[in-house]
Structure 1
Amino acid sequence: MDEPVLEVRDLVKHYPVRNGLLRRSTGAVKAVDGVSLTLDRGKTLGLVGESGSGKSTLARVLVGIEKPTSGQVLVDGEDVTRLSQAGRKQLRRDVQMVFQDPYTSLNPRMSVGEIVGEPFAIHGITPAGGRRAAVGELLELVGLDPDHANRYPHQFSGGQRQRVGIARALALRPKILVCDEPVSALDVSVQGQVINLLEDLQEELGLSYLFVAHDLGVVRHIAHDVAVMYLGRIVEQGREAEVYDGAQHPYTQALLSAVPVPDPSVRLVAPSLVEPVETGVSTSSTSGGVGGGAIVLEGDPPSPVDPPSGCPFHTRCWLAPALPEAQPDPIPSYPPTDRPDAGLRLVPAVCETDLPALVPRPEVGSAAAPGDVPAAGPGAASHVVACHFARGLAAPRVEV
């Protein structure tokens, strides 16, 4: 069984909204709203979602740049949210961050050698052989010429600057690297080089990565586990193959269907569990899913200041038909299929109630009703989905 190096339990980060001359609090931006994650030692956890879903805020909380409103962050079993100032300084030796923009994250007035060697000065560390030799080794480790240590960031390309940022993050030999979209600002060819570098470093140094990205193709290449985030919450997570080949949550299906592929008639998404309704989603054909074109969601994500009740995605979800509150009748059964679990009925009203924590989906062929899914625990399935509609049956595996 994999050993967790990082555990996030019910993490919440709210930013107060203040208005008026007295700057009174009138609400809060719920950037992260009850997130739970586990990162195994030596593995990569990919975190994906739309812009504004809270991914970068979560990353900043994990490295200690932001303080959480509530919840726990455990590194090797120790709750780092309760550490003293000296303890947080030690945390920064174990958890480092690689930022998105490789130019603005580097001080233009400092040479590359000074940038990479700065962590030694901050933490009062004198490496064996001296700081200059250690900086040269780090630059060589990330594929840069140690003789270029006296150059400044503007004298390097974008990919080289990102390598400098990685070398700086590795200076203190951390256990965990939080990579906040480290390749999104780079050319495609350079992206591959940086991804290969991260994989080589992980194998050589035993690093664990939390990899935040928009590009689901990049995440599939590097991640062992995947978590999908929407409006501050995790809506689906599991092993890479489970999420990509058997996406359960409607939001995950929509994201996968938007991934560019050489043959547009084949999409990286399982067929929809039910036919899309008239509002909330449009597709390039009538069926959606594999062979049915991309799923195009209508509208924007709700405001994190005033998120919808219950499932945060139900305002854009085609599996949740709009019914009056006084008519919480179940929708018709699934279309007849040869699957043994095809007769399950779904209750649309569950989208208007508070969703419980992520629970494992039922196995294919299970006769359990959507509300009878067992709670998560030891030995539970690794693929979990925060969607009552998706719990009725498991989407079939799709070969791509």
Structure 2
Amino acid sequence: MARTPDDVHEDIRKEVADRADALWDVALRLHADPEYAFAEHRAAALLTGELERAGLAVERGVAGMPTAFTARSGRGRPTVALLLEYDALPGLGHACGHNLIAAAGLGAALAVHAVLAGSTGSVLAVGTPAEEGGGGKAVEVDAGLFDDVDAALMFHPGVYDWRRAPLTAQVQYQVAFHGRAAHPTGNPAEGIDALAALIELFNVLAVLGRRLPEASHVQGIVTEGGTATNIVPEYAEGRFGLRAATDRALDELIGQLRECAEGVARATGTRAEVRRATVRYDHFRDSEVLSDRFAGHLSRAGIVLTPPVPGVYLGSSDIGNVSTRVPAIHPFVAIMGEDGSDHTVEFAEAAASERAREVLLASAEALACTAADVLLSPELREEAWARHRSSVAL
């Protein structure tokens, strides 16, 4: 007699429950040993070791990144990717809870592997380095890793219980001004002050900022401003972080930054040089139908997810790049109250709390059940893809 979806879900819950202590041990080991962008060697070794021992086919160093990996159970399509983040924040450790993301993705992959054992399609655990800086998922997208994937699933610990993540598009640009050195009293008329031009760009951008649309902003720092106080700076450089609600709005903001820099250069007699300095993160496109499935499964643990508060944005992530290619989810599940914030010492402590353990296990279970739904239901896949194509077209 064929198993029903309810049977599969029940088997998955038992598999996660049986692994509860082991998954929590992985989360605590990652928490106690934070590693940073593209250098998460011990974390990657720990996770791939667990996956390999369970019988998944592991490939290390994917997409040209030594700490990226995939682990596959089953063969062919449909394929569901479970995303594991494991980088930490310098000085703050796992203050974004990536130890929980990794352990939940691990638990979900192991549970689906144990229950479905490649009987339909495949599940792919994807190790994604450097979310906090470097964009491992963006690199993996460009390398084609998600080209044959039907859904990408992950959760993120936070201070809200939200079905989807309001994540903006983001990129950093370097702006340099080239002038001419001179002595500020001996021959000041011969100098062209590059630092003055850079400072003027900050002033112009401050005026621009007052009329930018919701969620768009530019934040800059001076990275080079001269070598001595008695020399007119011939070179000055700043780095600017740009964010916007959508990719299209970010493109417009980049164009405005270029126009401002070129206008300042003309006004000051300098030469402006504008170039992209980081990987670009696309805005996140939520797969509502899959997020609803995840929320339904999570509710069994007594955690109720709601839509995000309108007008509130929670930064950016390279999951946005994945969501441009395949239906994707990135719900937030709270491990501390709304009066808190991630990227803090308090959040790092919360990522190793008893509440974090509860969220980890509930999220692993919900991710695994959602993955099974995608693998077993052609109708669900078709609906997710139809909505995805509509969202990407916007």
Task: With the length of structure 1 as denominator, give the TM-score of the two structures.
Answer: 0.26
Q: Which has the higher contact order (CA 8 A, sep 6+)?
A: 2
Give the TM-score, by structure 2 length.
0.26
Q: Which has the larger share of helix?
A: 2
